[in-house]
Structure 1
Amino acid sequence: MSAIAPDVSRSQATWPMYLPYLVPMLISSAATVLVFTNSSVVGWGFVAFLVALQVLEPILGEDHETYEWKAPQIFVRMMQFYSVGTVLTFVGFLWVMAHAHNGADFLGIAAGLQAVTGFDMLAAHADDGWVQYFVAMLLFSITSSLGTVAIGHELCHRLHEPLSVFLSRLMGVFTMFSYYAVEHPYGHHLTAATPHDSSTALRGEGIMAFTKRTLKQDYEIVWEIEKSRLENLGLPAWSFNNRLIRGFLVELLVIVSVAAITGFLGLALFAIGVIQAHLGYKAGVYIQHYGLVRDPDEPIEIKHSWGCTYKVTNWLTDGIGRHADHHDVPEREFWNLVPHLEGPQLPAGYMKMMGLSRNKKKWEDAMVPLLIEWDENHASPAEKLLALEANEKSGHPDLLAHARRQRAELEEEGLLPIAQTA
């Protein structure tokens, strides 16, 4: 896969530089240990670690370098190890809720663990209550969500590695993301920064409105992709050949299994975990292309994604912050991605920006000036018209004022269609 390496000057990476990319592995490993052992030490350590990541994101700052890695296969093994931790965490959730349901030792895990290590898992969970149930739910939700849209995102692009693709789809099943492995490479990568993309938020659109609008759109896009693919093969859309239908069937099997193993309480908490995972996913994609516009007939360029070069962001998400280069060369492994500082950049790391997105006013205070700058310095003539339309629909005072200036400038330059000058 060396042919996908960028043709840019690269610094030689040292062995210690591999260590920060262990962050996802530490999360899934800690989640696995916590859900099985109920250890308060591990639990508070897990919380402290997540808080530390948020604190360190702005402190450690950005990294604008691209590196030559001597042993990149280490990164692949890290992602696969993370996947194993995600599977074990989900199994741990099933065990906790099955034990709460009827006192069962699901799969004989407690007995096996005690026989091998001497650890009494039943005693550790003897006093489980709502706190432990919610912790188990959050752990499987967090690891599966991160496993689908960060770690799994990278794995699903490794089409030359069946194991990587399988692990990506497996992690997605736990939180009902089976559509993602189709929608992302065959939908989003073709339609980004257009209204046809379910991962592009519109100007003036808050995160909850975006989530509500695009949850259904995700499935509609995958249905159209599969319908078109199967029609080209001379096969019916309503068949087992349809990957969306297959995904639904697998997810139905998961739901039935969760209900049978854990009862109503386990199923209810599973549903909450799934919802939380999807909300987290939408918060992530909301910031990646927010407000950017593109002529659907023109190719995706660097300017159609918000870049982020914060170190912690890219350690945690396996390089997703270098999003523009990923769209430019989807097959390029995350460790080879180029920062492209000439493109639009987020003003902070992903964790802070995802937090800001929960408050529409604070989000727009940060992003509206950047959108205006994008219109003035990045937009093509066709995109200036699309940006004008987006600004006029946004409802934001600053974008509306900008739209009036845009309209006057476009009329003066003769770029505004006659129909829009009336």
Structure 2
Amino acid sequence: MRLIKQYSFFISFALPALTVSGFYYGGYGNLLTPCFVFIVVPVLDLLVGRDSENPEDSRFQEIQSSEYYKYLTYGWVFVQSVFLLWALYSFAFSALTVLESVLFILSVSLVTGGIGITVAHELGHKNSEWEQFSSKLLLLQVCYMHFYIEHNRGHHVKVSTPDDPASSRKNESFYSFYPRTVIGSYLSAWSLEKEKLMRKGLSFFHYKNEMIQFSLIQLMFVSFIFFGFNFLERGMLPTNIADYSWKSVLFFLIQSVLGFSLLEVVNYIEHYGLERKQLENGNYEKVLPVNSWNGNYLVSNALLFQLQRHSDHHANAARRYQTLRHFPEAPQLPYGYEIMILIALVPPLWFRMVNPILERWK
């Protein structure tokens, strides 16, 4: 089992490979990635089953400090960056049908949002400057760089409290949660940066304000795509604004929205209906494993770098993905994230399935 788990994380690299293959096959070939994520992985989950095995105490530090697992995430950063440039070029210079365009954009967003943000999330919690840079680079590719600030300094502090825009409430549908978390998290990131600068005696408009930095970097990246691909198409930039093509920029922005929407539906699942107790002094109890939903299907956990062991992640945020533990006392999801995402998009079905599990657990 140890070797199976060690090499299982390579399954994530199947997504860009399938997307490229489906694109060149054409037509319904662009369904390869969505079918793999939402059909093949759930079937494998049921066939392979759950994984409740935790790292042995005697080998915990060895596994935690293993360079092998770091290089897997570094490899993903490189692969996704090259993949996105390929996707932008392929979309800009190919005559795709409407159906092919829709399926291709969905496939790309499953790579950049489904796996890319997961890896960005993993790297963003680490102290290494290279890992933090890599996290920001991946978030740039879905125009969601503020997640780096809000998730680490906001969500992890306020999780499962009414003050956290990224924690969903019982009987709150995903469609009610979505605008609350997208807007609330963005505003929270600005507020957190303002507080940090004030503590240092710096102005809100100081160059060290990371939200200003992120906004400019994202604007520059979108501009690079816009002007770069217009130059590639003609060998020069048009003099008339009406002659510019918006195809590559629209592709990038749509896949970005779909990508960070995948993140937010996962946020919806991870803390649905869970609440930390408020103490007499007004503070909330310490974050515990029971403040997050846990998922333990081996295949979907491998695909998502064990993100579904979310209980341990919130209790021990600096712990690397390969050493995250299973907590049986935490509320348990009935299926992997791939199926739970589809269920969350149908609120009556979600409430009917998850509310009874939540009540029994409480």
Is 1:332 the equivalent of 2:322?
A: no
- Alpha-carbon shift at residue 283 of structure 1 (Å): 1.0
Is 1:288 the equivalent of 2:267?
A: no
Please list every run of 5 or more consecutive structure 1 residues that lacks an aligned counterpart in the other structure. Answer: 1-12, 101-126, 376-422
Is 1:146 the equivalent of 2:114?
A: yes
Q: Do 1:222 and 1:244's aligned partners in 2 also have CA atoms closer than 8 Å? A: yes
- Alpha-carbon shift at residue 211 of structure 1 (Å): 0.2
| Match of residue 344 from structure 1 | 331
| Match of residue 385 from structure 1 | none
CA RMSD, 1 decimal: 2.3
Q: Do 2:30 and 2:103's aligned partners in 1 also have CA atoms closer than 8 Å? A: no
| Match of residue 344 from structure 2 | 357
| Match of residue 95 from structure 1 | 89
- Alpha-carbon shift at residue 148 of structure 1 (Å): 4.0
Distance 1:30 1:218 in 2: 32
Distance 1:215 1:137 in 2: 21
What is the TM-score normalised by the length of structure 2? 0.85
Q: Structure 1 residues 82 and 99, CA, compared in 2 at 3 Å: closer, same or farther? A: same
Deviations 1:372-410 (A, max 9, x none): 2344xxxxxxxxxxxxxxxxxxxxxxxxxxxxxxxxxxx
Deviations 1:78-131 (A, max 9, x none): 11111112111210122124425xxxxxxxxxxxxxxxxxxxxxxxxxx54445
Distance 1:254 1:131 in 2: 27
Q: Structure 1 residues 183 and 268, CA, compared in 2 at 3 Å: closer, same or farther? A: same
- Alpha-carbon shift at residue 236 of structure 1 (Å): 0.9
Bigger shift: residues 282-291 or 147-156: 147-156
- Which secondary structure does the structure 1 equivalent of 2:246 belong to? helix
Task: Name the aligned partner's letter for residue 287 of structure 1.
Answer: I
* 1:170 counterpart (137, 145, 160): 137
* 2:198 counterpart (220, 224, 231): 231
Bigger shift: residues 163-172 or 365-374: 365-374
Distance 2:168 2:325 in 1: 24
* 1:254 counterpart (211, 216, 221): 221
* 1:180 counterpart (147, 154, 160): 147
| Match of residue 303 from structure 2 | 316
- Alpha-carbon shift at residue 163 of structure 1 (Å): 2.2
Please list every run of 5 or more consecutive structure 2 residues that lacks an aligned counterpart in the other structure. Answer: 231-244
- Which secondary structure does the structure 2 equivalent of 1:62 belong to? coil
Distance 2:8 2:356 in 1: 33
Distance 1:313 1:32 in 2: 21
Q: Do 2:34 and 2:107's aligned partners in 1 also have CA atoms closer than 8 Å? A: no
Task: Name the aligned partner's letter for residue 117 of structure 2.
Answer: V
Q: Structure 1 residues 14 and 297, CA, compared in 2 at 3 Å: closer, same or farther? A: closer
- Alpha-carbon shift at residue 348 of structure 1 (Å): 1.9
- Alpha-carbon shift at residue 44 of structure 1 (Å): 6.2
Bigger shift: residues 288-297 or 211-220: 288-297
* 2:74 counterpart (80, 102, 112): 80
Distance 1:207 1:215 in 2: 12
Q: Do 1:206 and 1:360's aligned partners in 2 also have CA atoms closer than 8 Å? A: yes
Q: Do 1:199 and 1:214's aligned partners in 2 also have CA atoms closer than 8 Å? A: yes
| Match of residue 6 from structure 1 | none
Q: Do 1:33 and 1:42's aligned partners in 2 also have CA atoms closer than 8 Å? A: yes
- Alpha-carbon shift at residue 22 of structure 1 (Å): 0.7
Task: Name the aligned partner's letter for residue 172 of structure 2.
Answer: E
Distance 2:101 2:332 in 1: 40
Higher RCO structure (Cα 8 Å, ≥6 apart): 2
- Alpha-carbon shift at residue 278 of structure 1 (Å): 2.2
| Match of residue 21 from structure 1 | 9
Bigger shift: residues 351-360 or 54-63: 54-63
Q: Do 1:32 and 1:88's aligned partners in 2 also have CA atoms closer than 8 Å? A: no
Distance 1:97 1:45 in 2: 17
| Match of residue 234 from structure 2 | none
Task: Name the aligned partner's letter for residue 266 of structure 2.
Answer: G
Bigger shift: residues 223-232 or 38-47: 38-47
Distance 1:56 1:218 in 2: 34
- Which secondary structure does the structure 2 equivalent of 1:239 belong to? coil
What is the TM-score normalised by the length of structure 1? 0.73
Task: Name the aligned partner's letter for residue 177 of structure 1.
Answer: Y
* 2:260 counterpart (253, 264, 278): 278
Q: Which segments of structure 1 move beyond 6 Å, counting only runs of 4 or more?
A: none
- Alpha-carbon shift at residue 265 of structure 1 (Å): 2.2
Q: Structure 1 residues 46 and 66, CA, compared in 2 at 3 Å: closer, same or farther? A: same
Q: Do 1:92 and 1:136's aligned partners in 2 also have CA atoms closer than 8 Å? A: no
Deviations 1:182-232 (A, max 9, x none): 111111110000121121111111101100111110111111110111111
Largest Rg, 1 or 2 = 1
- Alpha-carbon shift at residue 259 of structure 1 (Å): 2.2
Count of aligned pairs between the two proteins: 334
Q: Structure 1 residues 224 and 281, CA, compared in 2 at 3 Å: closer, same or farther? A: same
Bigger shift: residues 236-245 or 42-51: 42-51
| Match of residue 239 from structure 2 | none
